[in-house]
A = this chain, B = another copy of it.
Amino acid sequence: MTDAQENIECPITAMLELIGGKWKPIILYNLTSGTRRFGQIDVRIPGISRKVLTEQLRQLEKDGLIKRKEYNEIPPRVEYSLTELGESLSPVFKEMASWGKEHVLGNG
């Protein structure tokens, strides 16, 4: 097996195809603490635009990482939460958050 062939099945590359990008990890991380409405996610992620948030949520839904529940109410209510597959990412985000706290933000 050559280096190149080995990389075709690179697990990191594989994972990045699902959760790579500027916003997806932060969106998913926000959902690890439970179900949230669209507006709640929006306000918790400073800098993201509603357009992009919608796009990313749609992709995550398509990839089976989150579910979208729409209530038939006025004004509209839409709730997002992790699927089982999405939940299985928790250990990853836990490690990432722990590293970020300790080595970037400078507190344990």
Contacts and interface: CB of A to CB of B under 8 A. Distances in A.
A16 interface: yes
A46 interface: yes
A53 interface: no
A32 to B, nearest CB: 10
Chain A contact residues, majority secondary structure? helix
Interface string A5-28: 011111111111110101001100
Interface string A37-68: 00010011110000000000000000000000
17 contacts: A3-B44, A4-B43, A4-B46, A8-B46, A9-B105, A10-B26, A11-B98, A11-B101, A11-B105, A12-B29, A12-B93, A12-B96, A12-B97, A15-B96, A15-B104, A91-B99, A95-B95
Interface of A: 3-4, 6-18, 20, 22, 25-26, 29, 40, 43-46, 85, 88-89, 91-105
